[in-house]
A and B are shown apart, each in its own frame.
Chain A
Amino acid sequence: MKDATNPMAEDPELHAYVDGRLDPLRQAAVEARLAADAGLARQVHAWKAQRLALRDMHGEVLAQPVPTHLLQAAQLLDRRSSRFAQWQRWGGMAAAILVAFGAGWAGHSGWQERATMVAGGSRASGQFVHQAVLAHAVYVPEVRHPVEVEAAQQQHLVQWLSKRLNRPLKLPSLTPSGYELVGGRLLPGEAGARAQFMYQNANGERVTLYVGAVEGATGKGMGETAFRFANEAGVASFYWVENGFGYAITGKLPRPAMLVLAEAVYRQL
């Protein structure tokens, strides 16, 4: 709808000028128009003054302390999100299972082949690495919530996850290989809790270390395995089981580079 009093009022260029959203070239063009039209110039200057007055409005509110009831309303989030985090862990796994199921359908017998391949002695560790890859795929792309506990709280992270996994955990350092710890999170596994640690290099490339008890590993001569390599959906993993406890290091890296990281982890555990 056109402004009855001034047909120029709707010109987006004029508003963008008032709001300081023009590049120098377009700004100069508007200024040339203003120089040639006193009425237009008056209008635009009035709008500019109005903008300044509005920006000043109730500035004192910004300096006031936030009322307690509003702080409490915001802090509800922490209580909700801890509940949500639990839901998300299960929800995340449900999504991962869906992905696996979908991939199975799409790849026809791919899922079955893999199951057969890892059957017989290494089935459990095959499932373990598969879960590691899924957890990797779910959390590595996360920008805002890649981990539950950040590296800054490393001591707390290790204590917490050691307690939940019922085993003293060690956090291997991958700094010599150029990867810094981002943090970690707790995940559900078949034989109880599992933990994922995320590392990131200067290029923002991430690798994850996934650890936890492997179901039935101790009972079936699976207490220990050699290094194994898996390549699923373009993601490489080295994994092994030691004392019934599985480790998988996963990333989008060539096999030799992954091996270097896997050996670094293995040496430090």
Chain B
Amino acid sequence: MSTPAASQSLVGHIPDLRRYARSLTGDAWAADDLVQDTLERACQRWQLWSAGSDLRAWLFTLMHNLFVDGARRAMRQGGQPVDLDDVASDLAAPPDGHEHTLDLQRCLLRLPPEQREVLLLVTLQDLRYEDVARITGVPMGTVMSRLSRARSRLRELMEGGAGAAARAPALRRMK
């Protein structure tokens, strides 16, 4: 509908996009920047969204593309590799002080971005593997192998404890 209802369908997805971006980037500000870029792109390309198809999957596709662009740009600009210990203060614990979430977020950030993305789309967003393949633009086999590596690596990191997580070699921040 090209009535004010159009933006309402978009607004309804914002909380979900924010939480996903937060887990993906590990940073509240970077996450909201990514969400804002995603919303702006959705507005620009609204006519390209095939009516009736899954709006959420389309929004995640836009966010994926922006995330990948951002990662590439950071690489091109020789983005400063940031040591996890330096950004630990950015990774503020949630107000209720869940140490576990902080650990999980730290370990998650040590996964390669493409693995982190697949893992979060599958778990946090509970998307089907074929949707994840479509969103990230890779074949199903690649989704499954990224998922598998992400799960195994994250388990190692978590079981290795805080020590292993803190001794991260180097982490590139996306934003």
Contacts and interface: CB of A to CB of B under 8 A. Distances in A.
Interface of A: 1, 3, 5-6, 9-10, 12, 15-16, 18-19, 21, 43, 46-47, 50-51, 53-62, 64, 66-67, 69-71, 73-78, 80-82, 84-85, 88, 142-145, 147-150
Given A70-B36, A88-B47, A150-B3, 11 more contacts: A21-B128, A50-B154, A57-B23, A58-B19, A60-B95, A60-B96, A62-B18, A74-B11, A74-B43, A81-B2, A145-B51
A66 B6 CA distance: 17
Nearest to A71: B11
Contacts of A54: 23, 104, 108, 119-120, 123-124
A88 B22 CA distance: 36
A66 B16 CA distance: 11
B154 to A, nearest CB: 6
Identify the interface centre among B7, B35, B104: most chain A CB within 10 Å of its CB. Answer: B7
B1 A150 contact: yes
A144 B53 CA distance: 9
Contacts of A80: 43-44, 46
Contacts of B96: 60
A1 B149 contact: yes
B99 interface: no
B interface, over-half SS: helix
Contacts of A150: 1, 3
Interface in B22-36: 22-23, 32, 35-36
Interface in B3-18: 3-4, 6-7, 10-11, 14-16, 18
B22 A58 contact: yes
Contacts of A1: 145, 149
Contacts of B124: 54-55, 57
A73 B15 contact: no
B148 A3 contact: yes
B71 interface: no
Interface residues of B, number: 55
A73 B144 contact: no
The 8 A-B residue pairs with the shortest CB-CB distance, nearest first, are A144-B51, A143-B52, A73-B39, A85-B2, A54-B123, A61-B19, A74-B10, A77-B7
B16 A70 contact: no
B61 interface: no
A62 B14 CA distance: 9
Given A58-B94, A145-B2, A148-B2, A53 B104 contact: yes
Given A57-B104, A61-B22, A3 B39 contact: no
Nearest to B14: A66
